[in-house]
A and B are shown apart, each in its own frame.
Chain A
Amino acid sequence: MEHALETTLTVNGQKVTRRIEPRQHLVDFLREELGLTGSHIGCEHGVCGACTIRVNGEIVRGCLMLAVQADGCNVETIEGLSDSKELAPLQKAFHERNALQCGFCTPGMLMAAQDLVRAGKKCTRDQIREHISGNYCRCTGYQAIVDAIEEVLG
């Protein structure tokens, strides 16, 4: 812990202070130190989107941000947005439309999709696809995911 820095951040509404090694990225910190294993780790170099979380209201790649960079930030994860019911409409639509199979990409996919829902704009299917282009799903072929997001967007 040679380089560890005291870091304070808010995670799903709770203030957390820990000594963190700079080399630890944010999603590892959430999973390993806080036990929030809903954000998944796929590629660890910003390609797959499984670790998508929200920092200060914007979605980011959890593997492309160091945990020490989150000092003073407000971090929200799939756990927080599920508990607050913010994701309930998308979760229901994903369930009903069979928009997940193995479920590995789903937390990141929901975080990215909710970003569109929050923007409150009507989107074409192409625009939905473009918005989730940074989130890989290896099971569904995306069709059902786009169906579910389209349903929630209305």
Chain B
Amino acid sequence: MKAPPFAYARAKSLAEAFELIERPGAKILAGGQSLIPSLNMRLAHPELLVDITGVRDLGGIELRPAGLRIGALATHSQIEKSELVAKHVPLLAEAVKHVAHPAIRNRGTIGGSLALADPAAEYPAVALALNATLVLVHRRGERRVSAEHFFKGLFETDIRPGELLGAVEFPKVERSVFIELARRHGDYAIIGLAGIADASGKRIAFCGAGATPVLAPLASRQNSLDAAQKALEKDIQPPADLYHSSATKMHLAKVLLSRAWNTLSKPH
């Protein structure tokens, strides 16, 4: 339970970070709340950890005309305490309460969570429900990718070599619901739901329901809860975990849908 040996370098600027992450065996270290456990368990064997927490350009929560831009290094605690987030992206404000525990929220970052792309985690489902834009920065500029195209597979994203996740942009959406079922507060969800509703309709995503966060487009389109629950069976096929069968998770997904339905269905 001790990490294997590796080198460590602290990037003071984006330019320095780009130079360091191109070295062989380099891995980016932000808050470290997922990477350090995997090092301690020897599931990861980087040759070099590039600590980006000192790069100023990657922090901050900023209101822009199109929505909220959150720097990759914003911690869960900063998001939890942010009035801008509570006001303009309440879905994220709801979700962050479910992310781990206070001591972890003080160091874990939104960029780290999204770049890791754990399908059971809260932020990926939130990003997908809001179809957030992920801003990937590289030496020559930036590339903007929508959440729908960012999550590619299990712990797999669209981030290319030489790129790092710089910020996430969330549109302002007033009406939303985040709920999840977990065995203990702060644990990974058995299954969770992130849903929004605006003038164009509902958009519901699930975490813990597949190899990536999963959208439920058919269920989102239905006019009644009954029809939505039936349609959900075509939208998602949650994989079994150690404690819950696929059928149980499907049942629980429908339970969450019923709890979210009224809030998301009120007329505009």
Residue numbers of A with Cβ under 8 A of B are 2-3, 5, 21-23, 25, 28, 44-46, 49, 52, 58-61, 63-66, 68-69, 71, 112, 115, 129-131, 133-135
Contact = CB atoms under 8 A, between A and B. Distances in A.
23 contacts: A2-B5, A3-B8, A21-B5, A22-B7, A22-B8, A22-B49, A23-B39, A45-B37, A45-B40, A46-B37, A49-B101, A49-B103, A59-B102, A63-B40, A64-B33, A66-B8, A66-B36, A69-B29, A69-B51, A129-B185, A133-B101, A133-B184, A134-B104
Contacts of A28: 2
A66 B6 CA distance: 12
Which one of B39, B102, B103, B184 has the greatest number of beta carbons of chain A within 10 Å?
A: B103
Contacts of A71: 10
A12 B59 CA distance: 28
B59 to A, nearest CB: 15
A54 B29 CA distance: 20
B36 A64 contact: yes
Contacts of A5: 8
10 closest A-B pairs by CB = A134-B101, A22-B8, A45-B37, A58-B106, A23-B3, A133-B185, A44-B1, A3-B7, A59-B103, A64-B36
A44 B41 CA distance: 8
Contacts, number: 90
B77 interface: yes
Contacts of A59: 102-103, 106
Interface string B41-68: 1000000010101000000000000000
B246 to A, nearest CB: 26
Nearest to A72: B54
B24 to A, nearest CB: 15
B90 to A, nearest CB: 19
Given A3-B8, A46-B33, A115-B102, A60 B40 contact: no
B138 interface: no
B36 A25 contact: yes
Contacts of B10: 71
Contacts of B40: 25, 44-45, 63
B107 interface: yes
Contacts of A131: 102
A36 B60 CA distance: 35
B1 A52 contact: no
A23 B102 contact: no
B185 to A, nearest CB: 4
Interface string B72-103: 00000100000000000000000000001111
A25 B7 CA distance: 14
Which one of B2, B53, B77 has the greatest number of beta carbons of chain A within 10 Å?
A: B2
A45 B1 contact: yes
Which one of B2, B6, B106, B186 has the greatest number of beta carbons of chain A within 10 Å?
A: B106
Given A45-B41, A46-B33, A25 B103 contact: no
Given A64-B32, A134-B101, 13 more contacts: A22-B7, A22-B8, A28-B2, A44-B2, A46-B104, A64-B107, A66-B36, A71-B10, A130-B185, A131-B102, A133-B184, A134-B102, A134-B104
B126 to A, nearest CB: 20
Interface in B20-39: 29, 32-33, 36-37, 39
B4 interface: yes
B175 to A, nearest CB: 25
